[in-house]
C-alpha cells in the first residue's frame, strides 16, 4: 500500500479466552494475516466491555476468570480485507466483525 490510497479495516471483537486449535484466537488471526501478506494487524485488549451475553468483562484483580475484551484490527486494501473475511469465518465460533473504509495517509518510512 502506498501513500494516499484507498484502504479498509476489519475490527474483530471477541473474548480473550477464545481459542482455535489450542492457540489464542487473537494470535491465530494475526499470524494468519501475516502469512497471507496483509498490510497490518493489531491486537487491543480492553479493560472493560460486554457483548451479546450482556456480561461485563473487566480487569479488576478480584474478578476471575479473566476473559477481557479483545479487538483485532486488520488493515489493507478493501479487496484484501474482504478476502480475509472467509478466513475469519473458519476460525471463529462467535464474535463480531465490523468494517470501515479509510484512507492511508502514510505507510512505512519510505526506506
Q: What is the pTM assigned to this prediction?
A: 0.82
Q: What is the CATH number of the domain that holds 62?
A: 3.30.70.120
- Which tens digits make up the pLDDT trace of 47-76? 777 777 777 666 665 555 567 899 999 999
| Domain of residue 26, residue span | 5-104
d(CA 76, CA 101): 10
Residue 110 lies in a domain: no
Residue 89 lies in a domain: yes
Higher pLDDT, 60 or 33: 33
Alpha helices per DSSP H over 1-101? 25-35, 78-91
Phi, psi of 109 (to 5 degrees): -105, -10
Residue 79 lies in a domain: yes
Calculate ∠ Cα 92-94-9, nearest 5°. Answer: 65
Q: Which of 35-39, 42-46, 107-111 has the lowest mean pLDDT?
A: 107-111
Number of domains in the chain: 1
Strand partners, 96: 13
Amino acid at each position: 500500500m502506498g501513500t494516499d490510497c484507498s484502504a479498509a479495516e476489519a475490527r474483530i471483537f471477541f473474548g480473550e479466552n477464545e481459542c482455535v486449535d489450542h492457540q489464542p484466537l487473537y494470535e491465530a488471526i494475526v499470524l494468519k494475516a501475516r502469512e497471507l501478506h496483509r498490510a497490518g494487524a493489531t491486537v487491543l485488549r480492553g479493560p472493560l466491555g460486554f457483548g451479546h451475553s450482556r456480561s461485563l468483562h473487566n480487569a479488576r484483580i478480584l474478578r476471575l476468570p479473566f476473559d477481557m475484551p479483545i479487538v483485532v484490527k486488520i488493515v489493507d486494501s478493501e479487496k484484501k480485507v474482504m478476502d480475509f473475511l472467509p478466513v475469519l469465518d473458519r476460525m471463529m465460533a462467535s464474535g463480531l466483525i465490523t468494517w470501515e473504509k479509510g484512507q492511508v495517509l502514510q505507510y512505512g518510512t519510505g526506506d
